[in-house]
Amino acid sequence: MDDVDRILLTELQRDATQAYAALGKAVGLSAGAAHERVRKLRDQEVIRRTTVDVDPAAVGRGVAAFVLVEANAWMGDHPVREALEALPEVVEAHVIAGPASLLVKVRTATTEDLQASLRRLFAIDGVTGTQTIVVLESFFERPVDTRG
Amino acid sequence: MDDVDRILLTELQRDATQAYAALGKAVGLSAGAAHERVRKLRDQEVIRRTTVDVDPAAVGRGVAAFVLVEANAWMGDHPVREALEALPEVVEAHVIAGPASLLVKVRTATTEDLQASLRRLFAIDGVTGTQTIVVLESFFERPVDTRG
DNA sequence: ACTGAAAATGACAACTC
DNA sequence: GAGTTGTCATTTTCAGT
């Protein structure tokens, strides 16, 4: 992982469809050399996968919320994880240090669906309460900065 | 946007490197037809971009935190947005309804760097306080579900 | 890490339903 | 309007150096 790799990662985050020749040009390498570096980054799982960024509103997920989940027992175990993974509206789930046990990010079509989701979170074993933060506007959601 | 498009989106979220022939097979269409549908999804900006998912820990961003930012004035304006965009460790910024004005997601190398970031957030005009939720473990962070 | 060649793929066209 | 097949230019991939 040197500076060349970091630039390659930034370029791929910006546009993963560009040709290796273009990537190579961005770092002063040949297409083949750029290809080899990217292959290694994939092997090491620095690059976990190539994916597309989908507009949530366009697929009926225009409402976003963060939900602090309080529990009467340790929530950092696998049954809880699986229960959350089974909920398609839950896009992130984190074990946290702070005012609750978990923080989950939810995306739904409407606030009614958000309410339904909260009911489902409540139904998870050990959950004693939720505190919901509704997103009014997202300034940005961007990939991790690979430099700085 | 029909069910075929939704399956294409799910497939591309899972692996955007696969050939159009493979995409077509997944939905029972020819490579050309799959290509045409994906092109339209890009045109409509349902697909915003093709990108790579980078392991944050591998690029020195292994610490994640959510910061509730309290302010004495309306924070939903552009100078604030630009101030946040200028901070490379801030990966998300949302205007919220709830116990604060903004919620930002921060990724740093260490907790010392997190502390430095909080100082920088405090320095933004109008900010009167922060409440920090440190992530201990992330169960998952996944793309938005395009069906269900 | 570079170059060059072979194989695979993306992009585009003409045509059909 | 949407899909199929066929063609060609580009790109990826894999040698050898």
What pLDDT score was predicted for residue B127? Answer: 94
Two tokens, residue B73: 């004035």
Percent over 90 (pLDDT), chain B: 92
What pLDDT score was predicted for residue A77? Answer: 77
- Within 8 A by CB and 6+ apart from A74, the residues are A101
Q: CA B5 – C1' D5 distance (Å)?
A: 22
Has residue B144 got a pLDDT over 80?
A: yes
* More reliable by pLDDT, B30 or A75: B30
Percent over 70 (pLDDT), chain B: 100
Helices then strands (H, E): number in chain B? Answer: 5, 5
Q: Which chain A residues are Cβ-neighbours of B55 within 8 angstroms?
A: 45-48
For A:42-101, CB contacts with B below 8 A are: 44-56, 58-59, 61, 64, 66, 68, 76, 81, 84-85, 88-89, 91-99
Helix (H, G, I), strand (E, B) or coil at A59: helix
What pLDDT score was predicted for residue B63? Answer: 98
**Which spans in chain A are helix H?**
3-14, 20-27, 31-43, 78-85, 111-122
Interchain CB distance below 8 Å, B141 and A91: yes
Q: What is the mean pLDDT of chain B?
A: 96
What pLDDT score was predicted for residue A58? Answer: 98
The parts of chain A modelled with pLDDT lower than 70 are none
**Which spans in B1-148 are helix H?**
3-14, 20-27, 31-43, 78-85, 111-122
Has residue B36 got a pLDDT over 90?
A: yes
Option in B50, B68, B136 nearest A15 (CB):
B50
Specify the pTM.
0.96
- Closest residue in chain A to residue B105, using alpha carbons only: A141
Has residue B85 got a pLDDT over 90?
A: yes
Pairing of strands A102-108, A63-71: antiparallel
Separation between Cα atoms, residue A18 and residue B53, nearest integer Å: 16
Interchain CB distance below 8 Å, A103 and B76: no
Q: Which chain A residues are Cβ-neighbours of B142 within 8 angstroms?
A: 91-92
Where does the pLDDT of residue B74 fall: very low under 50, low under 70, confident under 90, or very high at 90 and above? confident
Least confident among A54-58, A84-88, B76-80, B89-93: B76-80
What pLDDT score was predicted for residue B83? Answer: 96
Pairing of strands B63-71, A90-97: unpaired
Pairing of strands A127-141, B102-108: unpaired
Instruction: Give the gap in angstroms from C-alpha A139 to the nearest C-alpha of chain B.
Output: 5
Residue A144 in contact with partner chain B when CB distance is under 8 A: yes
Residue nearest to nucleotide D14 (CA to C1'): A32
> What's the alpha-carbon Rg for chain A, to the nearest Å?
20
